[in-house]
Homo-oligomer: A and B are copies of this chain.
């Protein structure tokens, strides 16, 4: 299957908080932009908060960035929203036959390859920040002000 859209929604939220930083971004406002339910936004915002990427407080309207967006990598968001659970991007079949030379060795041999591939993905995500996304958006459509 593919990686949860929580990831892209998380990026959306952070980009929105930057671009609309002068406004009060309630879960309802954000939900309008993302086009989903406010509760979904609160769930994801909660995860971003746990990761120290945003500040939100019960009873107080609006989420705010906790860091400069150039210091929030896509990997931070990826991990924050559990885009992939347990950081296990690949699944290895669980119980190959230990009585077979291939069966009893395949898991660790495959794991080596999977780990390398996963690391390649994560390195790429680590080299990119919310700033890159925001710049791209503003480049397409400069804000009037």
Contact = CB atoms under 8 A, between A and B. Distances in A.
B136 A112 contact: yes
Interface string A66-109: 00000000100000000011001111111111001111111111
Interface in A1-44: 1-5, 7-9, 11-12, 15-16, 19-20, 32-36
Q: Do most interface residues of chain A lie in helix, strand or loop, or is the interface mixed?
A: helix
A143 interface: yes
Interface residues of A, number: 62
14 contacts: A1-B4, A5-B94, A7-B90, A8-B114, A11-B106, A12-B96, A12-B106, A15-B102, A15-B106, A34-B97, A35-B93, A35-B95, A74-B117, A117-B124
Interface of A: 1-5, 7-9, 11-12, 15-16, 19-20, 32-36, 74, 84-85, 88-97, 100-110, 112-114, 116-118, 120-121, 123-125, 128, 132-133, 136-137, 140-141, 143
